[in-house]
Amino acid sequence: MASEATSVRREPLDPSGAGAAIQRWTLTAGPYEASVLTLGATLHTLSAPDRAGRTAQLLLSTDELAQILGPARHYGTVVGRYANRIDGSSVTIDGAEHRLAPTGGGLTIHGGPDGFAQRMWRAEPVEGGVLLRLHSPDGDQGFPGALDVTVSYTLSHTPGTGGELVIDYRAVTGKPTVVNLTNHAYFNLSGEGSGDVLGHLLTLDADEYTPADERQVPYGRTEPVAGTPFDFTVATPIGKSLHDEHPQLAGPGGYDHNWVLRARPADGGPARAALLEDPVSGRTLEVLTTEPGVQVYTANKFQGAVTGASGVPYGPFAGIALETQHFPDSPHHPAFPSTVLRPGEEFRSTTVLRLGVN
């Protein structure tokens, strides 16, 4: 059966206020809807029906500009130039050291204090969605090379099946640099503000993870998940072992780790990384990616600083982030998949969010 046409509309986030310069692009395909902001190339909302046909908004988000610029500054954004952590706030490429803008704790996180999440991207319509562009100049946050980045969001729905949101990333550079892009959305398949996600079932197509120090910087080795709280090789409630006495859980107070995905297809296409299921609503989210890893963060440190459209402040475990990406701190660990991008090459990454019910 043919896919339904996807409608795309554009409007200001806040026509009468300080958010007037931020565009909201809304994509609608059957009962599925996604909205994207030009600030941070943000996946702002994502709506889907449950097994009874009732629609809910599944992402932690807010329309309050002060919160978007403050405690919610990474909710749903594209983070870069390097997602996750770089230890020592420096990278060495071809023997040359580059000092990066620090974010504290001896780290540069998510590309620096003025990373891609804080930038205004240029947007244009494409078939089924929106394409966003960003130019990052040479030396931006200390990273070498002028980087031109595009991110597209396209939504589709075929009657009788679920919805599918595809996120495509592309980048080219003028000098050798490091690139690691991801989307930082938080999901709650029961609906934002509906409570915690500890009862959601999670499956990860990963037999290993990268243990990390107290700052969540990987040691540079992988360890098997078997026999540990990190084993999600079969559908397991997120909260089942989250509070176990395990040294890797004590510091972050839950999950904030990178899982090593099983080998990707030889053709370079996306393969499944994760399956998230909500037994109550019946909603499912299948995540497919071309990336080698997925960072799972269970919002352990949330303390109600952000209130969503539901009017409910987001506390611990209000959502789960499934960030498809290369491994944290890869520039300092030669055994990890390389994140170096050189002139003449193109960074390419695709993640698919496949929504359904069971």
| Burial per residue of 26-36, b for 16 or more beta-carbon CB atoms within 10 angstroms, e otherwise | bbbbbbbbbbb
d(CA 283, CA 295): 22
Q: What is the distance between the alpha carbons of residues 150 and 288, in angstroms, rounded to a whole number?
A: 19
Choosing from 74, 98, 157, 184, the catalytic residue is 184
Cβ burial 144-166 (10 Å sphere, 16+ → b, else e): bbbbebbbbbbbbbeeeebbbbb
- Please count the CA atoms within 13 angstroms of the CA of 304 that sit on its side-chain side: 3
Backbone angles phi, psi at 286, to 5 degrees: -100, 130
Query: Whose CA is closest to 318, among 205, 195, 209?
Result: 195
CA distances from 190 to 136, 276, 282 (A): 37, 11, 9
> Which one is catalytic: 44, 286, 323, 333?
323
323 given a catalytic annotation? yes
Nearest to 322 by CA among 356, 299, 348, 347: 299
- What is the distance between the alpha carbons of residues 221 and 204, in angstroms, rounded to a whole number? 19
User: What is the distance in angstroms between the CA of the first residue and the CA of the last residue of the chain?
Assistant: 20
CB half-sphere exposure, 69, CA atoms < 13 A: 8
Q: How far apart are CA 342 and CA 116, in angstroms?
A: 20
345 is catalytic: no
Q: Which residues are catalytic?
A: 184, 323
